[in-house]
Amino acid sequence: MTLSLMVMPPLIGAALLALAGGRLGRKAIAVLACAAVALSFMAAVWTSAPLLATTYESMSSLSGLEFWPQVSTTMEGVPYVQEKLYEWIGVGSLRVNIGFHLDAVAALMVLVVTGVGLLIHLYAAGYMADDPDFGRFFCYMNLFVAAMLILVLADNLVLLYLGWEGVGVCSYLLIGFWYREPANGAAASKAFVVTRVGDAALALGLFLLARDLGTLRIDEVASGAARLWAVGDPTVTLVAALLLIGAVGKSAQVPLQVWLPDAMAGPTPVSALIHAATMVTAGVYLIARTHAIFLMAPAVMAAVAIVGTLTAFLAGCAALAQKDIKRVLAYSTISQIGFMFAALGVGAFAVALFHLMTHAFFKALLFLSAGTVSHALHGETDLHRMGGLRHGRALPGTAALAAVGVGSLAGLPLITSGFYSKDAILWASLQPPYGHPMILAGLLITAGLTTLYAFRWYFMIFSGSPGPASRGEVHRPRALMLWPCVGLAAGALLIGFLETPETLGGYHALGDFLNPVFAAAEHTVGGEHAGFASAEAAHTAELAVQGAAAAMSLIGVLLAYYFFVMRPAWLERLKQGAVGRLIEATWRSGWGFDEVYELVFVRPYVALAKLLRDEPVDDVVDAIAGTARFSSVLLSVTQTGRLRTYAGALVFGILLLLTIWLWP
Amino acid sequence: MSPQILTALIAVPLTGGGLAVILGRRSDDAARWVSLLAALLTVALAATLWFGFQETLPAAQGPVLEQRISWIPRYGIEFHLALDGLNLLFVILTACLGTVAVLISWREVTRAVGAHYLCIMATVAGIMGVFLAYDLFLFYFFWELMLVPMYFLIGVWGHERRIAAAIKFMIFTMVSGLLLLVAILTLYYAHGAATGNYTMDYTRLLGTQIGLSTARWIFLGFVAAFAVKLPLFPLHTWLPDAHTEAPTAGSILLAGLLLKTGGYGLIRFAVPLFPDAAASLATPLAVLGVIGIIYGAILAYSQRDLKRMVAYSSVSHMGFVMLAVAVWQITALQGAVMQMLAHGVATGAMFAIAGMIQERLHTRDFSELGGLWSKVPKLSAFALLFVLASVGLPGFGNFVGEFLILLGSFPVTPMLVAGGVLGIVLGTIAMLALMQRTFYGPSRNAAVIADLSPREVLALGILAVAAVVLGLLPQPFLRAAEPSLAGIISQSIPFNPADPEVGLDVLRTAAENTADFSLQPPSDPTGAEIAPASRVPVAESAVGLTGTNPGVTTESSPGSAHAIPASARAGNEETGS
């Protein structure tokens, strides 16, 4: 019992809440649910510690102790902790275990999932305190944490798929948590179905891998693929493409991003945990986990980078035009995951995970702040009706916390974690063989957009004069809702220093930890001097990229201040013009993907279903029955009971036969 | 273990049903309790078999327990029951669902209670017989036996349009059953004429050598009966009517058990008796299976009636079984068995839930349902669980079934597997719509209704545990069925090269050597030798398979490459380990 100690507490918690939730009091439910995640977090620390100890000199004293789980190393020298529970499905030569595997990448994920998850559980205990379905909520939340941990820890792709579908179901259940509102149910079903389209592709990818490699263990898949296929082989390209479609669905990337904005129908802690910090990044994790496959398919790597960049840009624009406090953040999440995909696509897997981690902190923080704001304003979500909450007795604490989140999202230079992770992505996007200046350009523009919408959001809520909603009495947040945000804010400020660029100290705590897992990628990415002629040239280029990023961020803040605080009227005038109206409408609807899908998929399908509803196949059956009935009617007509009819028929028949017989 | 236990599996429910009628004259409750006792006794017998044969099953390819009683010796007819790993699983399913059916109709049925329980128990007995019979005449006897009580269940205790539904059910099954009888008799005479031994014994009829064109007709006679039961598109139209109009217990028996006799018949009888014919018709059957998966899912989505919706989802789920049978690989067949078990549990439960809703609200129409979660949270939570099981969520048995079927079929026919995967997505849409229309949203019905009673919790709880066990611990079931299925596959040689390594490796060579969709792996030289001399040459059946012109010669037929390239085999051995 090592790694399963992480999965078991939330699983048992969910089961207990499902079976006995109705009989427990609110306090007991909250304590049970939070304790389960806390236990899981402790187990995550306990199992990750020896892995950390293998990386860092300062912790090496840990490694001798019996207390820690035993660490093994792969042939390539990657340390890991493993636990096999039992054989799950074994048919023919395919053996699928319920087995867990923790390496550096998984360790990072489990720490984020359980750590951020714990803070959000605590927040939710305050936020949901008045909800009648308190027990059901925490049952789903605990189940989600368990499924997410299974996804992360799975040592094979089938078990990963179990977690993958499990988090999808929990997402469905929690988006539709307030089930009396039909719109919530529609959003929930949409999320589940759209991601299932991606899952279907993922499943096909698994079938292909199983067919050709005879195994679905992640480590064996990686080594088997390298032996069986050459780089660029059509089969491995197809596998990678299918995995990518799965990742795109789960991580809400173009063209399957449409479900995430609607998913905001769920309670805010859900948005923070599932639709910002953890589940939506599962696609990033999947690609990082199966990077060996992706590295063998350069075409798909390029696709990953392009999808990421495109998504980042499109969603960044859309975020700029949203009215709803949470929809801005939803589009922002899509955009930020686009950054992670871009990083994956240029082969900078560790960098993508770095941004995943910083994003988990600052985006969860932003969502929880948004929840506090809505909570304070009695459920108001329209940004245009807010304002001035920074001042006086309103929400100064939340305003400060949100400022940290917004600054980190915008990547304010030097002091925020978002700066370091985004800068690392920008720098990586230039490096051969996968990088390209166009990707850098796209991401730089998006970085500017990010600052703009982030501060628009902040200013509209907290600055200026109070709006219609924020004028009245403001509901003060509970302490339980404030302290978790402080924890997240601390993370959003500090964890960026785990990995700093060469120009700012070159401290690589995170990279040293993660990179052994991506050793195969390290040989190909960057090369000497990151593809530049000399170390000096590389150094200059890196400085230039950082300068550009910092400038984008600062200019964005100034522009946002100018447009949304100093001259809001000017912007309103701009929006009145024909072009302005068109742009606003397009961006607000998220580039019209929903409308197109409605027209191309939803309506034809519903029409088809309606057409088939009454079972056309049965018409054939009815026709047979009808023929029988009709013949019976025809024949019974002849049974008149009158002699003359029979005699006439007899004569007619004889004549007919004679005619036929005598016909030449 | 005494072989009489096999007869007991049939006799106990039948006796229980008889006693229910007799005692039912005095008191309805006596009829209920005696039926429940008989059902529980059947479960106990099945459990005895399961635990008794845990050691022997993995080793035995053939039956582990047999009972033969001479019945009509002049025509070679015996009362021959046999148990192997394959039908043991179905026996257990039958016993469990029989118990659930008894529990479910406890309060629902108030009219002619004794007769109702007789019908339930007689159906259970008939189904037991179908699963256990190793003599074709006996098989046919049970096959018809299970229909009659089911006809009465629908016709007497059903809902509004029960008579029409019952007649439709009867006509579909009777006509197809007659085709089965004709096919059995033709096989009987063909075998007798060839060997001089006129017998109805299944094991002796295996390997009967019949010309391909004749064999195809006989095969189609078998398939007609089984495909109607399964049901296979486009022979499924009796099913929505019958399921919808049947009382709850009838729906559970229909969906949970009767449909499985179709899948079981295909695996046990149709294909092994006529491997060449099956191979030559595999492509259309597989295509129909996949059409059924997609068509059933679309139709399910479009329904207005809760029970009809579940019924169409059954059509969709059973299409996977047809695909697996057409592909005829061990992985896919293992999946088919799991799929049938899991579908029996999950869909049986869905019908039970539909029945409970009907009992409380007297409607199944979506326009009058909605918002039930706030009224009956326990019932709704169970419904959610089984909906999730039905959409093939990992962790439930349906996932294991569908996953293995698609995994096993993929090397043979990736395009049809893609169709099946599409069907899963469409099925998800349908089942989520069911959830939304029934349990979420605002309540449209003011009636105050009670949540589950302990008896109902027990019935659904059994099924919930079964669904999860099948999903998380499928290995014992897979292991139990594996040797039997391997034995059955090895008896139907043309399908499979005589390769000791049955599994993915075989699939892989099959896929590599067949550019077109061909269900017949090229037999390697050893396989060709083992095939009886009178068998149709490989090339000929491959032509039929790939759907090309029968006049095409071996060279131009894509599926007929005889030797597996050495490189491909080497590649397998290297990567397969």
- DSSP state for residue A82 in the 8-state scheme: E
Interval A432-442 mean pLDDT: 87
Output b/e per residue, A331-352; b: 16+ Cβ within 10 A: bbbbbbbbbbbbbbbbbbbbbb
Q: Give chain A positions within 8 Å (CB) of B417.
A: 204, 207
More confident residue, A236 or A506: A236
Name the residue of chain B whose CA is nearest to A227's CA: B575
Interval B128-152 mean pLDDT: 91
Please answer yes or no on whether A94 and B504 come within 8 Å at the CB atom. yes
Alpha helices (runs of H) in A24-156, residue ranges in sequence order: 26-55, 104-127, 134-153
What count of other Cβ atoms lies within 10 Å of the Cβ of residue A248? Answer: 28
What residues contact B314, with CB distance under 8 A and at least 6 apart?
B239, B243, B255, B259, B296, B343, B347
Two structure tokens written together for A258 = 């449409």
Please answer yes or no on whether B425 and A166 come within 8 Å at the CB atom. no
Two structure tokens written together for A217 = 């263990």
Please answer yes or no on whether A158 and B394 come within 8 Å at the CB atom. yes
Per residue in A163-214, pLDDT (tens digit) is 999 999 999 999 999 998 889 999 999 999 999 999 999 999 999 999 988 8
Please tell me the distance from the alpha carbon of residue B307 to that of residue B295, in angstroms, as a whole number.
17
Q: Give residue A338's pLDDT.
A: 94
Does the pLDDT of residue A646 top 70, yes or no?
A: yes
**Is some CB atom of chain B closer than 8 A to the CB atom of A601?**
no
Q: Give residue A222's pLDDT.
A: 86
Q: Give residue A52's pLDDT.
A: 84
Q: Give residue B533's pLDDT.
A: 37
CA dihedral B313, B315, B316, B321 (to 10 degrees): 130
What count of other Cβ atoms lies within 10 Å of the Cβ of residue B205? Answer: 23
Give A297→chain B minimum CA distance, Å.
20
Residue with tokens 């898949």: A221
Name the residue facing A197 among B301, B395, B425 (closest C-beta).
B425
Q: Give chain B positions within 8 Å (CB) of A620.
A: 234
Q: Give residue A63's pLDDT.
A: 61
Q: Distance from CA of residue B128 to its chain's centroid? A: 13
Q: Give chain A positions within 8 Å (CB) of B439.
A: 179
Query: Lowest-pLDDT range, A523-532, B320-329, B443-452, B459-468?
Result: A523-532
Where residue B575 falls among pLDDT bands split at 50, 70, 90?
A: very low
Please tell me the distance from the alpha carbon of residue A350 to that of residue A516, in angstroms, as a whole number.
10
Give B311→chain A minimum CA distance, Å.
13
- What does each C-alpha distance from B291 to A622, B232, B236, B238 come to in angstroms? 21, 9, 12, 17
Per residue in A116-157, pLDDT (tens digit) is 999 999 999 988 888 888 889 999 999 999 999 999 999 999
Q: Give residue A652's pLDDT.
A: 93
Q: Give residue A20's pLDDT.
A: 84
What residues contact A66, with CB distance under 8 A and at least 6 apart?
none
Where residue B529 falls among pLDDT bands split at 50, 70, 90?
A: very low
Please answer yes or no on whether B425 and A193 come within 8 Å at the CB atom. yes
Q: Best interface-test mutation with A: which of B400, B407, B416, B437 has the largest number of A CBs within 10 A?
A: B407
- DSSP state for residue B282 in the 8-state scheme: H
Interval A235-251 mean pLDDT: 94
Does the pLDDT of residue B494 top 60, yes or no?
A: no
Domain boundaries, chain B: 4-487
Q: Give residue B532's pLDDT.
A: 40
Interval A546-555 mean pLDDT: 88
Please answer yes or no on whether B406 and A207 come within 8 Å at the CB atom. yes
Where residue B263 falls among pLDDT bands split at 50, 70, 90?
A: very high
Output b/e per residue, B516-544; b: 16+ Cβ within 10 A: ebbbbbbbbeebbeebeeebbebebbbbb
Q: Give chain B positions within 8 Å (CB) of A94.
A: 331, 407, 503-504
Closest CA to A264 of A322, A201, A198: A322
Q: Are A361 and A401 in contact (CB under 8 A)?
A: no
Q: Give chain B positions within 8 Å (CB) of A200.
A: 421-422, 424-425
Which one-letter amino acid corresponds to residue A313? F
The dihedral sign for the CA sequence A597, A599, A603, A605: negative
What is the pLDDT of chain A when averaged over all its residues? 88
Please tell me the distance from the alpha carbon of residue B448 to that of residue B450, in angstroms, as a whole number.
7
Please answer yes or no on whether A93 and B571 come within 8 Å at the CB atom. no
- DSSP state for residue B492 in the 8-state scheme: S
Two structure tokens written together for B214 = 């004749």
Please answer yes or no on whether A620 and B234 come within 8 Å at the CB atom. yes
**Is some CB atom of chain B closer than 8 A to the CB atom of A506?**
no
Please tell me the distance from the alpha carbon of residue B200 to that of residue B198, in angstroms, as a whole number.
7
Interval A32-48 mean pLDDT: 92
What is the per-residue DSSP string for A306-340?
Answer: HHHHHHHHHHHHHHHT--BHHHHHHHHHHHHHHHH
Please answer yes or no on whether A617 and B234 come within 8 Å at the CB atom. yes
Give A611→chain B minimum CA distance, Å.
9
Q: Give chain B positions within 8 Å (CB) of A211.
A: 410-411, 504, 507-508, 511
Please answer yes or no on whether B505 and A214 come within 8 Å at the CB atom. yes
Residue with tokens 């039958």: B94
Per residue in B76-106, pLDDT (tens digit) is 888 999 998 898 999 999 999 999 999 888 8
- DSSP state for residue B503 in the 8-state scheme: S
Q: Give residue A341's pLDDT.
A: 94
Name the residue of chain B whose CA is nearest to A180's CA: B441
Please answer yes or no on whether A613 and B482 come within 8 Å at the CB atom. no
Give B113→chain A minimum CA distance, Å.
34
Query: Lowest-pLDDT range, A274-288, B52-66, B390-404?
Result: B52-66
**Is some CB atom of chain B closer than 8 A to the CB atom of A613?**
yes
Please tell me the distance from the alpha carbon of residue B13 to that of residue B123, in angstroms, as a whole number.
9
Please answer yes or no on whether B432 and A612 come within 8 Å at the CB atom. no
Per residue in A295-338, pLDDT (tens digit) is 999 999 999 999 999 999 999 999 988 989 999 999 999 999 99
Please answer yes or no on whether A204 and B295 come within 8 Å at the CB atom. no
Q: Give chain B positions within 8 Å (CB) of A185.
A: 436, 440-441
Name the residue facing B575 among A185, A214, A608 (closest C-beta).
A214
Query: Lowest-pLDDT range, A91-105, A373-387, A505-519?
Result: A505-519
In the three-class reduction of DSSP (H, G, I as helix; E, B as strand; rest coil), residue A247 is classed as: helix
pTM of the model: 0.88
Name the residue facing A609 among B233, B301, B576 (closest C-beta).
B301
Does the pLDDT of residue B528 top 80, yes or no?
A: no
Please answer yes or no on whether A617 and B237 come within 8 Å at the CB atom. yes
Please tell me the distance from the alpha carbon of residue A169 to that of residue A167, in angstroms, as a whole number.
5
Per residue in A593-645, pLDDT (tens digit) is 989 999 999 999 999 988 888 888 888 888 888 898 899 998 888 888 888 88
Residue with tokens 């398979």: B545
Q: Give chain A positions within 8 Å (CB) of B303.
A: 613
Residue with tokens 């063998």: A296
Two structure tokens written together for A330 = 């939803």
Q: Give residue B466's pLDDT.
A: 92
Please answer yes or no on whether A193 and B301 come within 8 Å at the CB atom. no
Q: Give residue B129's pLDDT.
A: 93
What is the per-residue DSSP string for B19-86?
Answer: HHHHHHTT-HHHHHHHHHHHHHHHHHHHHHHHHHTTTTGGG-SS-SEEEEEEEEGGGTEEEEEEE-HH
More confident residue, B556 or A614: A614
Does the pLDDT of residue B173 top 70, yes or no?
A: yes
Give A169→chain B minimum CA distance, Å.
8
Does the pLDDT of residue B552 top 70, yes or no?
A: no
Q: Best interface-test mutation with B: which of A17, A91, A159 has the largest number of B CBs within 10 A?
A: A91
Please tell me the distance from the alpha carbon of residue B494 to that of residue B478, in angstroms, as a whole number.
24
Name the residue of chain B whose CA is nearest to A226's CA: B575
More confident residue, B522 or A302: A302
Give A337→chain B minimum CA distance, Å.
25
Per residue in A504-524, pLDDT (tens digit) is 777 788 888 888 888 766 655
Per residue in B267-296, pLDDT (tens digit) is 999 998 888 888 888 899 999 999 999 999
Give B20→chain A minimum CA distance, Å.
36
Name the residue facing B502 among A92, A166, A185 (closest C-beta).
A92
Please tell me the distance from the alpha carbon of residue A31 to that of residue A51, in angstroms, as a whole number.
30
Two structure tokens written together for B537 = 């040459």
- DSSP state for residue A577 in the 8-state scheme: S
Where residue A392 falls among pLDDT bands split at 50, 70, 90?
A: low
ipTM: 0.90
Name the residue of chain A whose CA is nearest to B473's CA: A88
Please answer yes or no on whether A200 and B424 come within 8 Å at the CB atom. yes
- DSSP state for residue A23 in the 8-state scheme: G
Sort strands A79-91 and A72-73 into parallel, antiparallel or unpaired. Answer: antiparallel
Q: Which of residues 414-453 of A touch B (CB under 8 A)?
A: none
Does the pLDDT of residue B524 top 60, yes or no?
A: no
Residue with tokens 């449209």: B444
Q: Give residue B44's pLDDT.
A: 93
Q: Give residue A437's pLDDT.
A: 87
Please answer yes or no on whether A211 and B411 come within 8 Å at the CB atom. yes
